[in-house]
Every structure is written in structure tokens, then in C-alpha cells.
């Protein structure tokens, strides 16, 4: 999002040096009140922010996998919620999941809100979601969920595109005033759409006619010409015949994708041990994807999503690959900015404090696996000069090339 970041210093979890959040350039959605909230969080005692350090901390990285596997009691089961094969596909493709010491079941859901519902009901133990659903769920009163691992891909278009009907007469985002726009409520796409509109002086709640549909119904709704515009994912974009694009997600998101767990599952020693082992493998297979792009394109974009290899290659080039980051004060502050921005753009009604809903107890595992894979997280900077495609000199929509 178009945030205004302050240049404050933060203390991290035990053993982490103080780090700085780079200033965010651009028009900025954050208000002075939001900045004050961030500052208040930043100066909170470091001890209160420190995560539980797992027993693996300080040991030889080469024995990490064996130690985590041995800690899982025999007969343990783990149910993992996903949305589009982001867990199950690389689990098998990379071979990382071959010797897991527990039975894993991957359950597919349509969108982050559905994953959260499954978590709240106790139907699954952990789940993959985007950056918007957790703050929105917290705002709705959900308490038993916590992010335990987070990838970030700052600057990415997030595989998200605001498209318009050909021959609609719409040439720029401002032309959407009074027009119908389809989006899935409570999702990352909801957040990105609200931010794009906000950046162009429009409010999703009153300046456009928002049409809320399920994530899988956004593209069909657009295809039927029932709406003037829609916020779609990359594979949907190509299935729609590459309609004109007003803007993408660049600069309107941080590319945060948490793995969320039930707090009650973390309180179960067997489940907690299995989750620790699963997270190591999740980091390993994510790093594997970055080193094997052609294999990932074939498995994910072609076989899973029904795209051509060239289309998948284009999307992966645009989207890029992120990295798992430790859940420290810096990442938590970024997540808080996302939550605050959801309020400012109307995707969330009330401010929430995200700190009780992030848990860095597995940070040492994430950092160790990144070292093993030579994966180095980029600085958490979402450059305000990123081009989301909405300000072309000739005010013409564009298509992916």
C-alpha cells in the first residue's frame, strides 16, 4: 500500500540487533494518528515482544531436520488448509515432504476467509492466507488465531489486476466513479482494490458500486458483463482473454503471506512439534521454488491453473519470489501498517492491534533453514515510486506483455 513509513529504530527478539524501517515515499495513506500508534508499539519493552526461542536455537544447522523430526510423537496428524496448491504442490514436487514423521492432509479452500473459518472451527490446524484476512478476522472478534510464519515480497504486483470491460469508455481509475466493480470481500484483493481507489481519490464504500462475490466468482461475474470492472488474479486474467488493465497490486501490498495456526493447536505438544517440523519444510520448499522456476511454472501455473508455460513465466517474472522473514519487531510493524491501512481504505471497520496475533516462536527454525538454503530476505521496503500501471502518460489501460 501507499504507506508513509517513519524512520524509527526497533529492538528485535533476543539476539537480534536493532533495525530501522526505511522511510516510505509516495502519497501515503497513514494518518498522524496511525504513525503515533506505530511509535507507541515501537517503544514497547523488547522483552514483551520477544518470541519463545525453540530448543533448536544455537545448534548445528545440519542437524536441524533430524532434531525436529525426532521431536514429533508417533501417530501425530496435521491438517493444512491451502487455497491453490501452494502447500501440497511443492510438498510433493520438491521432495521435501517425503519423510515427514506425521500424516499430513492438505485441504483446499476458496480464499483466505474460508481458510480462517476452517481454522476457527477446528477443522484444520494451520493454513496459508494472504495479508488482509487475519486483521479483518481480528476486527470481527476472532481470537484463537496467530501467524507463525510469514513470507514477504515487497513491491510485487501480488498476481492481482484491476481489469475493465473492453469498450467501456473507462480510461483511468477515476473513471470508475459510479461504476460497478466485483471483488471478494475480506481478501487481499479487497485490500488492493480499496488502496488503488483511495490512491486516486475514490472510496470503495461510496464512490463506486462494489459487488461482493466469492473469490472464484469474480472472473465469471466479469465475464458475464454484469460489472464494469473486477479485481482478478493472474490466471483469471488470461482466462478472461487478457482484458484491459487499469492497475496492478504493485505498491498496494507488501506481499505478506502468513501461515496461521490455531493457538489451541500450538498448546498441544504433539501438534506444536509437528507444526515446527512442517514450517521448516515450508521454508525449504519455498526456497526450492525460487531455485527451480521452470519446474514451478509447469507444476503451478500450467498443471494447477491451466495456463500456458509462457503465461506462467510472465506472471512469475512480474510477481517475483519472496522469502520467509523472522517475525520480529520490523515485520510486525509492517503487518500493523497493513491493518491500519485496511481501516483507512474501508476494508476494515475498526483499528486492531496485530501484535497478539503474530508469534515468533519458530523464528530460529526459519532463519536456520534460510541459512541452509542461502536464502537472504530483502530489506522490507515497499518503494513509493513503484509503477502499478495506473498513471500511464496517455491514460490508456494496458495488457500484460
pLDDT digits (tens, 9 = 90+) for 162-174: 999 998 999 999 9
**Better-predicted residue by pLDDT, 138 or 393:** 138
| CA–CA gap between residue 247 and residue 197 (Å, rounded) | 10
Q: Is 160-248 in the same CATH topology as 61-153+254-373?
A: yes
Question: What is the predicted pLDDT for the residue at 154?
Answer: 84
3-state secondary structure string across the chain:
CCCCCCCCEECCCCCCCCEECCCCCCCCCCCHHHHHHHHHHHCCCHHHHCCCCCCCCCCCHHHHHHHHHHCCCCCCEEEEEECCCCCHHHHHHCCCCCCCCCEEEEEECCCHHHHHHHHHHCCCCEEECCCCHHHHHHHCCCCCEEEEEEEECCCCCCCEEEEECCCCCCCCHHHHCCCEEEECCCCHHHHHHHHHHHHCCCCCCCCCEEEECCHHHHHHHHHCCCCCEEEEEHHHHHHCCCCCEEEECCCCCCCCEEEEEEHHHHCCHHHHHHHHHHHHHHHHHHHHHHHCHHHHHHHHHHHHCCCCHHHHHHHHHHHCCCEEECCCHHHHHHHHHHHHHHHHCCCCCCCCCCHHHECCCCHHHHHHHHHHHCCCCCCCCCCCCCCCCCCCCCCCCECCC
pLDDT above 90 coverage of the chain, percent? 62
pLDDT of residue 393: 66
Question: Nearest-CA neighbor of 163 among 236, 216, 94, 111?
Answer: 236
What would the mean pLDDT of 27-45 be, rounded to a whole number? 32
Taking alpha carbons only, the member of 243, 396, 385, 399 closest to residue 318 is: 399
pLDDT band at 37 (very low <50, low <70, confident <90, very high): very low
Question: What pLDDT does 378 receive?
Answer: 87
Edge-to-edge, what's the strand order for the sheet holding 103-108? 103-108, 77-82, 126-128, 257-262, 145-152, 323-325
Q: What is the mean pLDDT of residues 133-151?
A: 94
- When pLDDT is cut at 50, 70 and 90, the band that residue 384 belongs to is low
**Mean pLDDT estimate for the chain:** 83
Task: Note the pLDDT tens digit of each residue in 282-325.
Answer: 999 999 999 999 999 999 899 988 899 999 999 898 888 899 99
Q: With 50 as the cut, is the pLDDT of residue 51 above it?
A: no
The string of pLDDT tens digits covering residues 99-118 is 999 999 999 998 888 999 99
Cβ atoms of residues 35 and 393 within 8 Å = no
CATH number corresponding to 160-248: 3.40.190.10
Q: What ranges do the domains of the chain cover?
A: 61-153+254-373, 160-248
Whether 197 shows a pLDDT value over 90: the answer reads yes
Neighbours of 304 (CB within 10 A): 16
pLDDT grade, residue 34 (50/70/90)? very low
Q: What is the pLDDT of residue 50?
A: 32
The Cα 262–Cα 269 span in angstroms is: 13
Residue 36 has pLDDT above 90, yes or no: no
When mean pLDDT is compared across 55-59, 184-188, 318-322, the lowest value belongs to 55-59
Q: What's the CATH superfamily of 61-153+254-373? A: Periplasmic binding protein-like II (3.40.190.10)
Length of the chain: 401
Give the angle 265-373-84 at the CA atoms, nearest 5°.
50
Query: What is the average pLDDT across 151-166?
Result: 91
**Residues 339-364, buried b or exposed e (16+ Cβ, 10 A)?**
bbbbbbbbbbeebbebbebbbbbbbb
pTM of the entire predicted model? 0.79
Sorting pLDDT into bands at 50, 70 and 90, what band is 13? very low
pLDDT in tens, 2-11: 432 222 222 3
pLDDT score at 383: 61
Q: Could you give the CA distance from residue 151 to residue 171 in angstroms, rounded to a whole number?
A: 34
Which whole number is the average pLDDT over 8-33?
30
Amino acid at each position: 500500500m501507499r504507506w508513509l513509513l517513519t524512520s524509527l529504530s526497533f529492538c528485535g527478539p533476543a539476539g537480534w540487533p536493532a533495525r530501522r524501517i526505511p522511510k516510505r515515499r509516495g502519497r501515503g495513506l497513514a494518518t498522524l494518528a496511525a504513525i503515533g500508534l506505530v511509535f507507541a508499539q515501537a517503544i514497547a519493552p523488547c522483552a514483551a515482544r520477544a518470541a519463545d526461542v525453540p530448543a533448536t536455537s544455537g545448534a548445528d544447522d545440519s542437524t536441524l531436520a533430524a532434531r525436529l523430526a525426532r521431536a514429533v510423537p508417533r501417530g501425530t496428524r496435521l491438517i493444512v488448509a491451502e487455497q491453490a496448491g501452494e502447500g501440497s504442490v511443492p510438498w510433493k514436487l520438491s521432495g521435501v515432504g517425503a519423510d515427514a514423521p506425521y500424516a499430513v492432509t492438505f485441504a483446499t479452500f476458496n480464499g483466505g476467509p474460508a481458510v480462517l473459518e476452517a481454522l476457527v472451527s477446528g477443522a484444520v490446524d494451520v493454513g496459508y492466507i494472504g495479508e488482509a484476512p487475519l486483521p479483518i478476522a481480528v476486527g470481527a472478534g476472532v481470537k484463537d488465531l496467530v501467524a507463525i510464519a510469514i513470507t514477504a515480497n515487497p513491491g510485487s504486483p501480488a498476481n492481482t489486476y484491476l481489469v475493465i470491460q473492453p469498450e467501456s469508455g473507462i480510461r483511468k481509475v477515476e473513471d470508475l466513479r459510479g461504476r460497478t466493480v466485483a471483488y471478494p470481500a475480506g481478501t487481499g484483493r479487497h485490500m488492493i482494490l480499496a488502496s488503488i481507489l483511495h490512491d486516486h481519490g475514490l472510496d470503495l464504500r461510496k464512490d463506486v458500486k462494489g459487488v461482493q462475490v466469492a473469490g472464484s466468482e469474480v472472473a465469471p461475474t466479469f465475464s458475464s458483463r454484469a460489472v464494469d470492472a473486477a479485481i482478478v488474479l493472474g490466471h483469471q486474467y488470461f482466462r478472461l482473454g487478457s482484458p484491459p488493465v487499469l492497475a496492478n497490486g504493485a505498491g498496494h501490498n507488501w506481499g505478506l503471506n502468513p501461515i496461521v495456526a490455531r493457538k489451541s493447536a500450538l498448546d498441544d505438544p504433539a501438534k506444536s512439534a509437528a507444526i515446527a517440523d512442517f514450517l521448516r519444510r515450508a521454508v525449504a520448499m519455498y526456497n526450492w521454488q525460487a531455485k527451480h522456476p521452470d519446474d514451478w511454472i509447469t507444476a503451478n501455473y500450467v498443471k494447477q491453473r491451466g495456463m500456458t508455460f509462457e503465461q506462467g513465466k510472465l506472471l512469475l517474472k512480474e510477481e517475483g519470489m519472496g522469502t520467509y522473514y523472522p517475525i520480529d519487531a520490523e515485520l510486525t510493524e509492517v503487518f500493523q501498517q497493513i491493518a491500519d491501512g485496511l481501516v483507512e481504505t474501508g476494508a476494515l471497520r475498526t483499528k486492531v492491534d496485530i501484535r497478539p496475533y503474530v508469534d515468533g516462536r519458530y523464528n530460529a527454525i526459519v532463519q536456520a533453514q534460510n541459512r541452509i538454503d542461502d536464502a537472504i530476505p530483502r530489506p522490507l521496503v515497499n518503494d513509493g515510486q513503484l509503477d502499478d500501471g495506473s498513471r500511464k502518460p496517455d491514460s490508456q489501460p494496458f495488457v500484460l506483455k
